[in-house]
Amino acid sequence: MTTQLSPRRAPRQSRSQATVTAILDATAHILIEHGFAAASTNAVAERAGVSVGSLYQYFPNKDALVSAVRTRHGEQMMAVILRALTKAIDATLLDALTGLIEATVEAHRVDADLHRVLEQQLGDMDMDEHHGEYVRVMEDRIVVLLTRHRDEVTAPDLKLAAFMLLHAAHGLIHAVVLQRPKGISLKHATQEIGDMMTAYLTAPRRT
């Protein structure tokens, strides 16, 4: 039997929106403080200050609650990155890449404790049902950015280059934010990622 992950209904009035926000905030706090096993619907309702009946009006089960928290977290991260991509359109290639990397680092620091719990206890955030849409949007934006610097970028296939940049940078930035060795500053590690990305984009190509 497939578990229902979608909310039962979307909040439309401000009061309903506030209730859903309180429920999701409570879920996130319990996940961070006590882990997935403790995030029961009863515990979330108590923490949010609502009845279990009110919670069930919006979320059919615990899995739907956690899925909604993951989706909200992903949207918050996406917003940070897209703002940087919009700002980077008129920048130099190096400045644009630096801004994108810094924004992606900042996105991974948005509620970093929650991000760590979601990945450690529930698997990679890439498994979120909305992640594919986020990736497509970012790849398209990066292609636009690279097109504006076509005289500098030696990569023959900009779509492939955007794919490579996005996924390589994601893995590196994730490690830099959550797993970098002691003594390595975030700023230094971020600069190194920028140098790697620039070298990839501008390197001589095989004929």
Q: What is the pLDDT of residues 124-135, one digit of tens each?
A: 544 455 667 778
Q: Please, what is the Cα angle at 33 between 23 and 182, to 5 degrees?
A: 130
Asked whether the beta carbons of 55 and 44 are under 8 A apart, the reply is yes
Same domain, residue pair 118 and 37: no
User: Do 192 and 118 fall within a single domain?
Assistant: yes
Query: What are 193's two structure tokens?
Result: 């990622």
Q: Are 40 and 117 members of one domain?
A: no
Q: pLDDT for 88-108, tens place per residue?
A: 778 888 888 888 888 888 887
In whole angstroms, give the CA distance from residue 201 to residue 149. 10
Q: For residue 13, is pLDDT > 90? A: no
Whether pTM exceeds 0.75: no
Q: How many domains does the chain have?
A: 2
Positive or negative, the CA dihedral 72, 78, 80, 82 is: negative
Rounded Cα distance, 22 and 17, in Å: 9
Domain that holds residue 122: 70-202
- CA terminus-to-terminus distance, the chain: 54
Residue 144 domain-assigned (yes or no): yes
